[in-house]
Structure 1
């Protein structure tokens, strides 16, 4: 056998023994009595699996794996029979079976998979007490919410149409015959029964239904028409591309073009998942945790709910305003990496483009919270009970979807009728309602080629800053006045850092020129 093959063989057997050792160590640490199945047994289980697999590969007889497993299983069952009166659990036996098959797949070359499965096993076996505490806190309505979430994610989402709604309000007009890439002039061959006239606006679609722009008809005669292209994807306009006509009501067509049911619901699912992850974290840790940790994790569930809770608490205990302010800033700062994560799923190029200002604001918020913590005379050992309701329900999902769809249509109408230069006003107003919605709206505009990527990033930052300052005014209306004064400085610093980093990082001159501003 070549030396390289021998080294690889030894490494595979060594990895099998190591994984068996780690799993056996966990079992011995877990069992307070003298275990009947311990470290040495698990090492041997893994090696038996590896040896069975090696023999099967060498002799081209896969039945040897089954034979090895049968012998191993007989020994395991006899051990279980001896200790059957010690407890009803079979966790150790199941871990032993999985350990055997870890050795099998290692010899088949799936070393990374074996390591990942071993880590997953240890991750399930170690936190036994935490899992039991979590089980005691789980309620039936929360399990229903999980089932509903899985249903709308893996059953409903895949069947939703990926085209924008305006494609369902259109009819075929013809196809593109020629396009002048320098002037944007588009020639169209009309269908036999199609009728267009000067001033009409028709849509261009790729074979998959993706909208790539519009053509404003300037001349039409018999079965030929021509017009000027409107959009930012002229390079994608080629002969034989489909040309569609709409209802003739431009206002409705523009609004409908902003909404793609699949993408809209994907974003609803994504936002719900992030919020639900934070909610589960709170359930595991308990509702009464440290103020700082509540602010940090509560920002994933809902930074608005977290802010409202601490604002009301400041009325009851104004002495803790510094800590309350720290928690509110942490909750607001979590929004920035949260937005990065969400945008990365649907628009990776924009995520990379927006990473610098959002990261800068997130870090600044964390530093401001740290300053307040060290200036506070009381340590963060107090607990606070913030009541978070299950962030996922069909009602909440539909409500967010409607708000998001409304902001999508609002921004699309503003872009179409007022021009891109008005987007900052739209972002500031929409950000007061929901930071996620305005962020995804700008992402949708940029992905559709309707605005420059730097201009989308700038307005996304404005929307996030607007949402941040909205929380400040919530504190002003519902919290202690001293808490509001404590928050003014840090929030101003976060906003200034966001604006300055955006102005320095992006070429807004080019973006404004492209926007016509």
Structure 2
């Protein structure tokens, strides 16, 4: 067609520009790092050098069709030049120079990637690399803040995720074939990972940074444990009751969001249907947290709460056992009474833990069960769990009980009202997703 632009003509120059931009971006961070280090030498690989390395990789990427060995040769040449420049006598390269060397090799490879038909992936990778390089002090602080037991917990998490999970049989056992070892353990890994991320965030940031931060990440670990811990602190620090109540409200709002995320990982259609009532409840909890925080006129937020490490073989096995029991009960009740039986189970299981019943409901819906009763079961579990937390708060007494129970009541009421009102998300094209065939 006359007058049309042949974009193929410009593809190689544009890809070379991406390769150059990748090198300049990484080189900018390396240049900045050298200027921040007073002891660094004037001879260093910076903006121009990394830009040239990105361009070198781009050129080798264009030529690799006719000479595939060029990329490997370019990598060896870059490594040899940098090592020869920075090595002093028989001494080893300083650690920062090793990082620069690795960054240089990656830059060359990303340049080749950009001219091999994947410029967007090369640019995205470059941004991630720059962030990692720039966050060096922060990452070192995070790792240094971990205790030996917490490091072991990370290793255990990796073992059960990458070693144990793949070898478990993917087949139903037991009554109603409701016990699938791989599925149960996959759920354990999912919940344990979310909980451990929240725990690490509290450990790294420090629980003394404010009860809102504690509530935010404590909701990922366990909103019940966070509620109990903050309520216990309210007895010792009456001046901080308002921010403590704010942390409780935020922890419970985050737990609802976490619940929705878990459902989305298993059955997106159910998560979409539940997002309206659960989201409204979480929003009201957030508003309560902000109002309670603004009501606080003091600085009494210095005491820290103690949240135990949520990941260990003991808690993981307990969660797996609880999930197995609830799945068998769910299969039995659904066989006898239909999905009404699941809702009754949700009322009792929610008093103990919402994770197991959430996973059971999501899995059952993904297997072909109707979505609307499943949403009701999730809301019932949230309500039952809020009732249990209200009992915990009531035992603490004082203003923390009034404000904490009030925030929980408003959250649940907002979710119930939203459930009774047609979701506005359906008008945006959600009907097709919600009504799509399950499984």
TM superposition score category, shorter chain reference: 0.7 to 0.9
- In the alignment, is residue 364 of structure 1 matched against residue 281 of structure 2? no
Q: Unmatched 5+ residue regions in structure 2?
A: 427-439
Report if the CA contact (8 A) 1:476-1:484 is conserved.
yes
Of the three residues 208, 226, 231, the one matched with 1:306 is: 226
- In the alignment, is residue 125 of structure 1 matched against residue 133 of structure 2? yes
Match of 1:158 in 2: 166
Shift in alpha-carbon separation, 1:74–1:463, aligned structure 2, 3 A: same
Shift in alpha-carbon separation, 1:65–1:471, aligned structure 2, 3 A: same
DSSP-derived class of the 2:142 partner: helix
Match of 2:366 in 1: 447
Of the three residues 495, 498, 503, the one matched with 2:412 is: 495
Q: Number of matched residues?
A: 413
Structure 1 segments (4+ residues) deviating >4 Å: 82-86
User: What value does the CA root-mean-square deviation take over the aligned residues?
Assistant: 2.3
Q: Unmatched 5+ residue regions in structure 1?
A: 167-252, 508-517
Name the CA distance, whole Å, in 2 between partners of 1:294 and 1:501.
28
- In the alignment, is residue 327 of structure 1 matched against residue 247 of structure 2? yes
Name the CA distance, whole Å, in 2 between partners of 1:110 and 1:103.
10
Cα offset for 1:155?
2.2
DSSP-derived class of the 1:270 partner: helix
Match of 1:5 in 2: 8
Higher relative contact order (CA 8 A, sep 6+): 2
Cα offset for 1:108?
0.9
Of the three residues 377, 380, 385, the one matched with 1:462 is: 380
Shift in alpha-carbon separation, 1:66–1:413, aligned structure 2, 3 A: closer
Name the CA distance, whole Å, in 2 between partners of 1:66 and 1:438.
53
Matching of residues 399-418 of structure 1 within 5 Å: 399-418=318-337
- In the alignment, is residue 473 of structure 1 matched against residue 391 of structure 2? yes
Shift in alpha-carbon separation, 1:367–1:77, aligned structure 2, 3 A: same
Cα offset for 1:3?
5.9
Cα offset for 1:94?
1.2
Tell me whether 83-92 or 126-135 shows the greater mean CA deviation: 83-92
Name the CA distance, whole Å, in 2 between partners of 1:453 and 1:64.
56
Superimposed CA distance per residue, residues 251-273 of structure 1 (whole angstroms, 9 cap, x where no aligned partner): xx3xx433222211111111001
Report if the CA contact (8 A) 2:172-2:178 is conserved.
yes
DSSP-derived class of the 1:53 partner: helix
Match of 1:177 in 2: none
Match of 1:389 in 2: 308
Report if the CA contact (8 A) 1:80-1:93 is conserved.
no
Cα offset for 1:369?
0.9
Match of 2:422 in 1: 505
Match of 1:25 in 2: 28
**Which is strand-richer, 1 or 2?**
1
Cα offset for 1:93?
1.4
Matching of residues 148-297 of structure 1 within 5 Å: 148-166=156-174, 253=175, 256-297=176-217
Superimposed CA distance per residue, residues 427-459 of structure 1 (whole angstroms, 9 cap, x where no aligned partner): 22210111111112222333333x421011111
TM-score by length of 1: 0.75
Which of the two has higher C-alpha Rg?
Answer: 1
Name the CA distance, whole Å, in 2 between partners of 1:63 and 1:446.
53
Superimposed CA distance per residue, residues 461-500 of structure 1 (whole angstroms, 9 cap, x where no aligned partner): 11012112321211222x2422101123222111111112
- In the alignment, is residue 71 of structure 1 matched against residue 80 of structure 2? no
Match of 2:266 in 1: 346
Report if the CA contact (8 A) 2:87-2:93 is conserved.
no
- In the alignment, is residue 147 of structure 1 matched against residue 158 of structure 2? no
Cα offset for 1:418?
4.1
Name the CA distance, whole Å, in 2 between partners of 1:102 and 1:345.
32
Name the CA distance, whole Å, in 1 between partners of 2:168 and 2:88.
55
Cα offset for 1:161?
2.6
**Which is helix-richer, 1 or 2?**
2
Name the CA distance, whole Å, in 1 between partners of 2:365 and 2:64.
56
